[in-house]
Structure 1
Amino acid sequence: MPSIYPVLRYPDVRAAVDFLRSAFGLTVHELYEEPDGTVRHAELGHGDGLVMIGAGPAPVSRPADDDYRVYLAVDDVDAHHRRAREAGAEIVRSPFDTDYGSRDYAARDLVGVVWSFGTYHP
């Protein structure tokens, strides 16, 4: 079980969960709903990692295209890239090969957070 959990804030947690599932392939580990159906907190999984999503304001400014907040290792970068693009993610860097042997790409989510994906496993 991992011991580091990135925490990201979104004004609409349910919309963020739906987007991150469809575009980036994350899975719902936990989803905490209020009695009115509002989602305040979610835990999304990828491999053996988790990211926590909480209710909060969108980023004040859009980060630069290379200002990654989260990195996910994936087996097939090109297929992952197609999925993200088809789901409406803004691709900020198309798939490319690095000098250290990884294949990577980067995409912006629905509030502007930049996610990086690649074959490198630290």
Structure 2
Amino acid sequence: MSTHDTTTAALRPRVWATLQARDAAALIDFYTGAFGFTATARHDDADGRVAHAELLWPEGAGGIMLGDHTPGRAWSREPGTAGTYVVTADPDALYRRAAGHGADIVRPLETTDYGAREFTVRDPEGNLWSFGDYPGA
């Protein structure tokens, strides 16, 4: 049996993107500033490295779990190799925010042939992030 509170389970994220970083603390700052994620948890290890952090997407039930890369651990992945699509109600405003925080624009804001407004950026670790108003079929 889980010891986690289930009273608000319907409001909690059901899908978590998981990342590892060379500098998780800096990446957390980037994600909160450039994209608007909300940091809700951070646990550092004895060496001051981020062992686990959680950031929520303010527009819906999704989030990111991340920490500093520790080679050889179970679930270890190379930093900078992730790609994520995030749905946003206002891609134009988010594009301006990301660009204003120095995000590396890979694909500028555009309307796709299927009618979505989307853009893609690369974060400081090399991960690709696409944001748009396409919610899926």
Q: Which category of TM-score, normalised to the shorter sequence, fits these structures? A: 0.7 to 0.9
Bigger radius of gyration: 2
Contact persistence 1:73–1:119 (CA under 8 A): yes
The residue type paired with residue 52 of structure 2 is H
1:45 aligns with 2:66: no
> Following superposition of structure 1 onto structure 2, how do residues 1-122 of structure 1 map, counting pairs within 5 Å?
1-46=12-57, 47-56=60-69, 58-59=79-80, 69-122=83-136
Report Cα offsets for 1:26-80 as digits up to 9, x if no partner: 1112111234543221111102111111211533xxx6xxxx7111111111111
Contact persistence 1:13–1:41 (CA under 8 A): no
Q: Normalising by structure 1, report the TM-score.
A: 0.84
Q: Which runs of 5+ in 1 are unaligned?
A: none
Aligned length: 115
In 2, distance between residues paired with 1:12 and 1:31? Answer: 14
Report Cα offsets for 1:65-102 as digits up to 9, x if no partner: xxx71111111111111111111110000111122221
SS of 1:6 mapped into structure 2 = strand
The residue type paired with residue 49 of structure 1 is G
Q: Normalising by structure 2, report the TM-score.
A: 0.76
- Identity of counterpart residues, as a percentage? 40
